[in-house]
Amino acid sequence: MGESNDGTQFWTQPGPAKAYYDRVCQLPPLRDVLIAKLRDTWGNPDSPGLELFPEVSREEITLRGLDGNDVPITRFTPPNCGTGVWVYLHGGAWISPISGKHLAWAKRMAALTGWTVLALDYRLGPEDPFPAALHDVIGVVQHCQKNASGPVVVGGDSAGGNLGPAAALYAADHDLQAPDAVLALCPAINMAYEEVPGFVEAAWEHPIQDITLFGFGRACYVPRMEDWRHPYVSPIYGDLSQLPPVLVVTGEQDAMYEDNRIFVERARAAGAEVEDHVYAGMPHSFFMQDELIPEASAQANADIATFLARL
């Protein structure tokens, strides 16, 4: 790609093309412009929700990923917490860092559940494409399993709802200890989404989940088409019988609603234990929007807390 027959990049070779690229490449690459804009918008570190639940302590720590790299983590510990640990994985299309909104929700859930919540700032595409983020998750889960005295669950919202099941499938394939449960909350569970008519229809010109945005995030995280159906990329194509208990949360107005329905059906058919909650009229990751849709978000958060309490 981008190379001549002798292996050199064509824009470095003398000639008219080099003069053209020398001029054009003075501009920042469009990909980097889009990434910076998205991260600035989605990765806002501020959120008024971070001021809530002052009884929950916050600590910035670092743990090791599977590749030996440092994974930044925000640990939320409620007072009189139990032994459970939730490795929380934020959304953001695998390209945006954890935001204040995500951290505020993680803090809220620590207060509501009584669990310690570890909010990972895992590596992102395009700088670190698949499987970097997954390796960060697996390394942190292994650390927690070695050091926690209670259950360890993994998962989160959207892209995080993808990484949780992927980590469980990876553990099964590599004879690692399985997480005690997986949380798939409005999960982006299928990279081959064009094959799902309901997704294409719902995401076309969607104000938040536009299909072109999905394509951009996918290209940054998993640039090669042959990887799109890999079970660690699209868990919907994996051996779902290997999953531990799974909680699936879905909003009816989520563009990924149909994908989520297919995932639940396949997991149950494979023999996995699946607790499934569908919320009428709700959009993607609605459970974080307590200031906009307080009743529905409170119900979903209570359902998550009830699921964890049974582990």
pLDDT 10s digits, 247-291: 999 999 999 999 999 999 999 999 999 999 999 999 999 999 988
Q: Are residues 199 and 99 in the same domain?
A: yes
- Cα–Cα dist 164/3, whole Å: 38
Residue 230's nearest CA partner among 222, 36, 199 is: 222
For residue 98, give every residue at least 6 positions away whose Cβ sits within 8 Å of its Cβ, in sequence order, or none: 43, 74, 90, 92, 119, 120, 121
pLDDT digits (tens, 9 = 90+) for 103-122: 999 999 999 999 999 999 99
pLDDT of residue 1: 46
* DSSP 8-state class, residue 207: S
Task: Tell me what pLDDT residue 213 has.
Answer: 86
**67 lies in the same domain as 34:** no
Look over the chain and give the mean of its residue pLDDT values, rounded to a whole number. Answer: 92
Task: Indicate if 285 and 174 belong to the same structural domain.
Answer: yes
Report DSSP state, residue 268.
H
What total number of domains does the chain contain? 2
- 237 and 131, same domain (yes or no): yes
Q: Outline where the chain has alpha helix (H).
A: 16-24, 30-42, 100-113, 132-147, 159-173, 197-203, 211-221, 257-269, 294-309
CA–CA gap between residue 153 and residue 206 (Å, rounded): 32
Same domain for 77 and 184, yes or no, is yes
pLDDT digits (tens, 9 = 90+) for 26-67: 777 888 999 999 999 999 999 999 999 999 999 999 999 999
Residue at 164: amino acid letter: G
Q: Which domain holds residue 22?
A: 11-42
Indicate whether 19 pLDDT > 90.
no
Rounded to the nearest angstrom, the gap between the alpha carbon of residue 267 and the centroid of all alpha carbons in its chain is 19
pLDDT at 280: 96
Q: Specify whether 149 is located in the same domain as 15.
A: no
The answer to whether position 3 is within a domain reads no
